[in-house]
């Protein structure tokens, strides 16, 4: 985590500043600040998920200390779409800040569900916007442009400023045969290009992948083949926000006289929100049934749509795989479709889950077998088309690891974009009439959410957690004579993860003796201080184990007076 550096005073003339707080050199935690002539907007406020070494941490937030230090200039939050890596951090931020939030109807519906769970229901000013709508916020004229993505109601944001127009694409793709929505509004992007675009801040996720993204209609046709061939139950695992895919599956189920069960809390809630807001053309009500009703129908009449495509612990599909699901016992004849990309880092868990499903006799279908998934992010040809339509003076690749952003920058050069900027989280990129440059850095980093607590790595004592995982724990329990200040006997020592059971007794006996000797070496006055006795026990046990085993476990002394 970097230390905050003071930025130069804003120019007296028109200026535009872009400060990413997350989303660069990673896929997730998207959060940016755009500032113009003293007014500030936050674009998206997402989360990411902890790495293996973040023991016990639930989610990770961007560190928005810079925003809190300049709160008097923040005029609102603009949301591009409803994915967790774009809206998941907003409830935590809005617990500290009272500021209006602008976004599409479904995006705000998904956010509002999160706000209610944080005790913020009806306490945040949520302002719905439609594609094509323009709003005046301070010196900005904010315009929302319809795009295709893997969640409905996704929009790019064009900010019209005194220096020119800045476009934030958000996550997007071009689907030329979309289902249930229009295609990306290419004419509007072209018109913006004709008017002149100062800068484009573009999604870089698929910049290394040639061609065009697959249409959702092609995925629909791929699933139609699955329905034709499956002899028994069909179980589809997908992301809970991929609601157009849910709609397509419901349509196919209705055509094939299958009943549908939705499994997974987030999937059910998102589907209900989308249905209530009119974003999903749900089939007749009798298509959907409760899990308890499945036993009334033969297997060939059932479709189960589930969470768990990434083998998340306790997700529906993971519990099915390991025989721990209350309603579904996977068996021979079941066809299980993994309709999602494999997120890097999840390979081990997914492989374990798939192996377990195979052992139960199921047939597994992935994107390698049939056309059952399409990316929500633009590939190379779409990225080049967007750049040719908008013709920005400056390209700033965002949303992606460094190699992805570098790939996007190279595509920009291929189509004639002269000015590309590969900056880092925390950089302040300033635009003025005189030119564009990084003028400094602000505080940025990662805030960890552990249960109900939010803080940095020191707040959660992750160092100790990592030590517990790598070197184990020792607990030493001793009793001190209150009058003499001496231990009545060597402490009882327990350990976990330090030494194997075969040699445990001998090592613990010697460790206890080392602690006894250490306390005996203290002065009479020091032995009268419980904290001194505890420290002597801790130090001497750790020193002995380090010398004998080469390990440095966490040692916890527990001392009582008698």
Q: Is 351 annotated as a binding residue?
A: no
Q: What angle, rounded to 10 degrees, do the helices at 265-276 and 105-117 form?
A: 130
Total count of residues recorded for the chain: 562
Residue 204, marked binder? no
271 annotated to a ligand binding site: no
What is the rounded distance in angstroms from the CA atom of residue 260 to the CA atom of residue 287?
6
Distance, in Å, from the CA atom of 307 to the CA atom of 246, rounded to the nearest integer, reads: 11
**Is 125 marked active-site?**
no
Find out whether 408 is annotated in a ligand binding site: no
Residue 149 marked in a binding site:
yes
Q: Residues with Cβ < 8 Å from 401, sequence gap 6 or more?
A: 25, 26, 27
Chain mean position to CA 307: 16
Q: Is residue 28 part of an annotated ligand binding site?
A: no
What's the rounded Cα separation, in Å, for the pair 196 and 203? Answer: 20
Determine if residue 375 is labeled as part of a ligand binding site.
yes
> How far is residue 157's CA from residue 137's CA, in Å, rounded to a whole number?
13
How many Cα atoms occupy the beta-carbon half-sphere of 451 within 13 Å? 4
450 is in an annotated binding site: yes
Residue 369 assigned as binding residue: no
85 labeled binding residue: yes
- 118: annotated binding-site residue? no
Q: Is 377 annotated as ligand-binding?
A: yes
Closest CA to 170 of 43, 60, 47, 67: 43
Chain centroid, CA 150 distance in Å: 15
CB 189, CB 386: distance < 8 Å? yes
Is 528 annotated for ligand binding? no
Q: Is 412 annotated as a binding residue?
A: no
Q: Which of 203, 334, 394, 444 is catalytic?
A: 203
240 annotated ligand binder: yes
Contact 104, 81 (CB under 8 A): yes
Among the options 146, 160, 325, 377, which is catalytic? 377
Check whether 86 is labelled as a binding-site residue: yes
Sign for the CA dihedral angle at 167, 172, 176, 182 comes to: negative
CA distances, 475 to each of 405, 462, 492 (Å): 49, 19, 8
160 is catalytic: no
The binding site for Zn(2+) comprises: 81, 83, 85-86, 149, 171, 399
The binding site for substrate comprises: 240-242, 373-377
The binding site for Ca(2+) comprises: 56, 58, 450
The binding site comprises: 56, 58, 81, 83, 85-86, 149, 171, 240-242, 373-377, 399, 450
Catalytic residues, by residue number, are 203, 377
């Amino acid at each position: 985590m970097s230390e905050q550096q003071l930025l130069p005073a804003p120019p007296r003339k028109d200026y535009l500043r872009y400060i990413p707080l997350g989303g660069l050199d990673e896929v997730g935690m998207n959060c940016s600040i755009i500032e113009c002539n003293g007014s500030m907007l936050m674009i998206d406020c997402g989360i990411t998920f902890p790495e293996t070494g973040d023991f016990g941490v639930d989610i990770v937030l961007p560190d928005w200390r810079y925003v809190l230090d300049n709160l008097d200039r923040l005029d609102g939050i603009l949301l591009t779409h409803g994915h967790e890596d774009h809206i998941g951090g907003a409830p935590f931020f809005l617990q500290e800040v009272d500021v209006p939030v602008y976004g599409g109807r479904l995006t705000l519906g998904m956010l509002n569900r999160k706000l209610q769970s944080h005790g913020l229901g009806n306490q945040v000013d949520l302002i719905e916007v439609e594609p094509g709508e323009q709003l005046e916020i301070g010196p900005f004229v904010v315009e929302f442009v319809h795009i295709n993505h893997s969640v409905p109601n996704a929009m790019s944001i064009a900010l019209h400023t005194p220096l020119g127009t800045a476009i934030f694409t958000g996550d997007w793709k071009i689907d030329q045969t979309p289902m249930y929505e229009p295609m990306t509004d290419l004419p509007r992007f072209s018109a913006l290009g004709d008017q002149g675009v100062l800068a484009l801040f573009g999604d870089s996720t698929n910049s290394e992948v040639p061609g065009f993204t697959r249409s959702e209609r092609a995925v629909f046709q791929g699933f139609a083949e699955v329905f034709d061939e499956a002899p028994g139950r069909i179980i589809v695992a997908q992301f809970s926000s991929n609601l157009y895919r849910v709609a397509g599956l419901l349509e196919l189920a209705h055509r094939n006289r299958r009943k549908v069960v939705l499994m997974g809390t987030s999937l059910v809630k998102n589907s209900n929100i989308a249905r209530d807001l009119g974003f999903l053309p749900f089939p007749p009500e009798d298509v959907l049934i409760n899990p308890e009703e499945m036993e009334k129908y033969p297997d060939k009449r059932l479709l189960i749509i589930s969470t768990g495509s990434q083998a998340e612990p306790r997700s529906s599909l993971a519990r099915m795989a390991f025989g721990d699901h209350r309603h579904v016992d996977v068996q021979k004849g079941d066809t299980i479709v993994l309709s999602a990309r494999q997120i890097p880092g999840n390979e081990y868990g997914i492989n374990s889950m798939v192996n377990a499903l195979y052992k139960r006799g199921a047939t597994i279908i992935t994107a390698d077998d049939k056309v059952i998934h399409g990316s929500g992010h633009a590939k190379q040809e779409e990225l080049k088309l967007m750049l040719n339509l908008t013709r920005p003076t400056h390209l700033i690749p965002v949303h992606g690891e460094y190699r992805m952003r570098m790939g996007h920058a190279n595509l920009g050069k291929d189509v004639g974009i002269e000015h590309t900027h590969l900056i880092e989280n925390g950089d302040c990129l300033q635009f003025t009439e005189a030119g564009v440059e990084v003028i400094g850095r602000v505080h940025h980093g990662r805030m960890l959410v552990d249960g109900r607590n939010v803080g940095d790595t020191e707040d959660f004592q992750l160092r100790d957690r990592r030590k517990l995982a790598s070197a184990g724990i020792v607990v030493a329990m001793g009793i001190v004579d209150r009058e003499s200040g001496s231990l009545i006997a060597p402490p009882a020592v327990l350990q976990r993860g330090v030494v194997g059971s075969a040699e445990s007794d001998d090592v613990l006996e010697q460790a206890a003796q080392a602690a006894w000797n250490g306390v005996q070496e203290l002065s009479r006055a020091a032995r009268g201080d419980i904290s001194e006795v505890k420290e002597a026990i801790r130090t001497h046990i750790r020193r002995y184990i380090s010398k004998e085993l080469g390990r440095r476990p966490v040692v916890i002394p527990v001392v009582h007076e008698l």
